[in-house]
Amino acid sequence: MRSMRLILAMGGVWALSLCAQAPVEVHGVPARAGAVDYQAKAEVGGVTIAADFVGHAVPTPDGMFTNEDYVVIEVAFYGKPDAKLKLTWEDFSLRINGKKMPTPATQFGLALKSLKDPEWQPPVSPDAEKSKGSINGGGGGAAGDPKPLPPKMPFPLRRAMELKVTKAVLAEGERPLPQAGLVFFQYRGKDEGIRQLELIYNGAAGTATLTFER
């Protein structure tokens, strides 16, 4: 009987996990009035591609977040009335500081792991206050004591943050234009260290390179 209850309990957790991972509809971000409203643009195959480099920031219609391991490009596509185009993040790569091999775009799910909300502040625990008081008073733990792990954002808050970002990524598939959304590229350096930047597109419309002024 005990083992049966354990199986049922595990099944409930599994079901909750599946619900938490239910597919989220991707909307991208609202395209701006025109391609001239972006930092860089290029025309290819009757389509205009425009883009903004936002660095380690992750802007969404529902809030601003950050990511130390990835940089973000907001891309937009414009075409003639009733135009459609097959879109995917896999069509993009990013050449940083003239490197011979550009960095391919990353599936956004991988970038969610290192996502942060700059407005979230972890609560101060009584143990942390006691430790702080001991240090100020000349005390403290024994030498070699392991440092406590940094507090983690509560799961409901983290899930809400990830959902906001997921909805803002570039929508995939055959889409009516205009369309805009976020594309991620792995880069752990500082934004200030980027002197040259080129976004390379190789997709259904053709091939184009967007050069950003730095």
Residue 78 domain flag: yes
What pLDDT is recorded for position 128?
Answer: 52
Q: Is residue 18 part of a domain?
A: no
Q: Per the structure, how many domains does the chain have?
A: 1
Give the domain extent around 117: 26-122+153-212
pLDDT digits (tens, 9 = 90+) for 183-196: 999 999 999 999 99
Q: What is the pLDDT of residue 139?
A: 47
Task: Give pLDDT, residue 132.
Answer: 52
Domain membership of residue 20 (yes or no) is no
Indicate if the pLDDT at residue 153 is higher than 50: yes
Tell me, yes or no, whether 178 lies in a domain. yes
Average pLDDT along the chain: 85
Residue/partner pairs of 51-54 with CB below 8 Å, 24 or more apart? 51/75, 51/76, 51/199, 51/210, 51/212, 53/197, 53/199, 53/212
Token couple for 13:
């957790």
Residue 165 lies in a domain: yes
Asked if the structure places residue 10 within a domain, the reply is no
Cβ(79)–Cβ(94) below 8 Å: no
Which is nearest to 88 in space by CA: 66, 105, 74, 72? 105
Position 150 pLDDT exceeds 90 = no
Report which of residues 214 and 138 the model is more confident about. 214
**Domain for residue 13, yes or no?**
no
pLDDT digits (tens, 9 = 90+) for 7-28: 333 333 333 343 445 567 888 9
Residue 10 has a pLDDT of 37
> Rg of the chain over CA atoms, in angstroms?
22
| Contact between residue 63 and residue 164 where contact means Cβ atoms under 8 Å apart | yes
- CATH number assigned to the domain comprising residue 197: 2.60.40
Cis peptide before 102 (omega within 30 of 0): no
pLDDT at 162 over 70: yes
User: In this predicted structure, what is the pLDDT of residue 182?
Assistant: 98
Residue 93 lies in a domain: yes
